[in-house]
Structure 1
Amino acid sequence: MIMTKKLLIIGDGEFADIAYEYFTVDSPYTVIGFAVEQGFLKEQEKFGLPVVALEQAQEIFPTHEVEAHVAVTSTKLNRVRKRLISVAREKGYKLANFISPKAMVWRTAKVGDNVFIFENNVVQHKVEIGDGCVLWSGNHVGHQTRIDDYCFLASHVVISGYCKIGAGSFIGVNASFADNVSVGADALVGMAAVVTKSHEKAGLILNGNPAEPARVSSYRYYRVEQDV
């Protein structure tokens, strides 16, 4: 693959390491550095590339030459990734996607910015995936489903057709959704949960088969405030 674009990875944790590998092997991007917020800057180099303070990143990696990708997992119910994407945009960076060539993303699907889709995902006809979403390996997203901004799908999730996943949600390994099911913003859907009906209230934790809300909210679980 011919490398034609320069990329700055925002983050320096495990997901940043994975993003470096995937962008390097299976994309037209050449990673040229990493950036983290000044208070988290603990190393000067990663994979032989500079690690810089995000506050000064555009001085070292000009926005007219370099694109960026925020490689952060579901920390604090996806709030950290959301905030850093906003910071990158304010600095003027164009946000790059990684879509594995080993994923099947149908031509009518719509994908937002700063999306990371791993191998063996199936994204069907007229699916919409919002900004800042991560789809780990091996998921199925059924036709005309909407995944709102800043969601994180772990592996082997099955979402049937005409579903809606609310913004900021985390969907655990092997969770399943029936057709025409919606979950509200900031949902935490547990491992192997089977969602057979809609639960549209924000901040629910859903577990079991059939999945039912827990008494504790996802906001309390992650110790974050509900967005206004």
Structure 2
Amino acid sequence: MNKTQKLVIIGAGETAEMAYEYFSYDSDYEVCAFSVEKEFMSETSLGGIPIIPFEDLELYYRPDQFETFVALGYGKLNRSRSRLYTACKEKGYTLAKYISSKAFVWRNVTIGDNCFILENNVLQYQVRIGNNVVLWSGNHIGHRSVIGNNCFLSSHVIISGYCSVGDNCFFGVNSCVGDNVKIAEDCVVGAGAVILNDTELGKIYQGNPAIPARVNSYRVFNVRS
């Protein structure tokens, strides 16, 4: 594959290694470095690729020549990923996105930056995906549904048609949302949960049909609402 663009991956954990694999073998990006904040640096290279302190990144890889991709999971209810996403923007970087060549994305779908969309995802007619969204493998996003910013969908999640998902949400494996449902911001939908009605801000939903847990998502993920 002809590599026409240069990329620095922010992070050096499992998600970053996966991002390196996918960008390297299924995109036109050449991964030139990883970058980690100084307090989290324990190595200076990963797989032969240098790891650069994030605080000094623009001194080594200029924003007008390199793009970045923030490869973190859903820690602190996606706040860790969104914080570094914002920091890259403030440094002047363009944020890359990865869309697997084995995903089905209809022609009028819109997808924001710093998205990581893996294999076997189905994005139907007029779907809109915000910025900094992770769609792990095998999800279905139904027609005209909207996924907000900084969300993380694990695997085999079903979002039916005409749904709206607020920012910073997390969906566990095999969870399901019925037609015309609104998922409020900062919600956590547990593995196998079935959502049939609109949800409330910052709640954790479990079961079939799903009901909110007594503890909220902010407490579980140790974030301030």
Q: TM-score range by the shorter chain?
A: over 0.9
**Over residues 123-154 of structure 1, what are the superposed CA-to-partner deviations in whole Å (9 max), with x where a residue is unaligned?**
01111110000000000000010100000000
SS at match of 1:108: coil
- Cα separation, 2, equivalents of 1:168 and 1:128: 15
Q: 2:170 corresponds to which letter in structure 1?
A: F
Letter in 2 for 1:47: G
Equivalent position of 1:216 in the other structure? 215
Q: Which amino acid aligns with 1:124?
A: Q
Q: Which residue of structure 1 aligns with residue 204 of structure 2?
A: 205
Q: CA deviation at 1:165?
A: 1.0
- 1:80 — aligned with what? 80
What root-mean-square deviation, in Å, do the aligned CA atoms of Structure 1 and Structure 2 show? 0.6
Q: Structure 1 unaligned runs (5+)?
A: none
| Cα distance per residue 1:163-191 (max 9 Å; x no partner) | 01110000000001110011110100000
Looking at structure 1, the residues matched to 92 and 189 of structure 2 have their Cα atoms a distance apart, in angstroms, of: 34
Residue in 2 aligned with 1:119?
A: 119
Alignment of structure 1 residues 36-185 onto 2, 5 Å = 36-185=36-185
CA deviation after TM superposition for structure 1 residue 38, in Å: 1.1
SS of the residue aligned with 2:202?
Answer: coil
Deviation (angstroms), 1:34 = 0.5
Cα deviation code 1:5-29 (max 9, x no counterpart):
1000000010000000000000000
Q: How many residues were matched structurally?
A: 225
SS at match of 1:87: helix
Matched residues in 1 for 2:105 and 2:221: separation?
Answer: 31
Letter in 2 for 1:122: V
**Structure 1 residue 2 displacement after superposition:** 1.0
Cα distance between partner residues in 2 of 1:146 and 1:156: 17
CA displacement at 1:64 relative to structure 2:
0.8
**SS of equivalent residue, structure 1 residue 83:** helix
- TM-score, scaled relative to structure 1: 0.98
Between the aligned partners of 2:217 and 2:177, the Cα distance in structure 1 is 19
Q: Secondary structure of 2:34's partner? A: strand
Q: Which amino acid aligns with 2:214?
A: R
- Counterpart amino acid of residue 172 in structure 2: G
**Runs of 4+ deviating beyond 6 Å:** none
5+ unaligned residues in a row in structure 2: which ranges?
none
CA distance in 2, matches of 1:121, 1:206: 23
- Distance, in Å, in 2 between the alignment partners of 1:110 and 1:128 is 5
Q: Is 2:15 the counterpart of 1:7?
A: no
| Deviation for aligned residue 1:68 | 0.4
Task: Please give the per-residue CA displacement for 1:198-220, whole angstroms capped at 9, x wherever unaligned.
Answer: 11x21010011001111110001
